[in-house]
Amino acid sequence: MEERCLPECGVERFLLLLDGPWATLIVRELLVGPQRFTELKSRLGSISAHTLTHRLKRFEKHGIVRRTAYAETPPRVVYELTELGMTLNEVLKAMNAWGISVADEKLAG
């Protein structure tokens, strides 16, 4: 099976890598620091384990998240943003500032 290349357009590339609202929220939570799967799931509320697993695997594949498994009993796996993943901090800050700046009545219209 041939690996699909990422699009040339930066916006399209961003949307492909961070598809859906859960992806952005996962990054938001990992900006705080490394977390275990159960911690992430708890912080994200209604995300399914399947969706969280799928997004984390996708992020790992694209170098946004690092997964570290520790040989302990019980096994421990920690997820953290890579250097590339940390560059999303400014993007999320800008998204947050824009979202806060939009008045509720403008969104309701």
Q: Answer whether residue 109 is part of any domain.
A: no
State residue 2's pLDDT score: 44
| Helix, strand, coil percentages, rounded to 5, for the chain | 60, 15, 30
Is residue 64 packed enough to be buried (19+ CB in 10 Å), middle (13-18) or exposed (0-12)?
Answer: buried
Question: Domain containing 30: what range?
Answer: 17-99
| Structural domain contains residue 38 | yes
Q: How far apart are CA 49 and CA 56, in angstroms?
A: 11
Give a yes or no: residue 3 inside a domain. Answer: no
In a domain, 10, yes or no: no
In a domain, 77, yes or no: yes
Give the pLDDT means over successive 10-residue stretches in the chain (109 positions): 68 83 94 96 95 95 95 92 96 90 72
Q: Residue 31 is part of a domain; what is its CATH number?
A: 1.10.10.10
Residue-level pLDDT at 109? 60
Q: At residue 12, what is the residue type? A: E
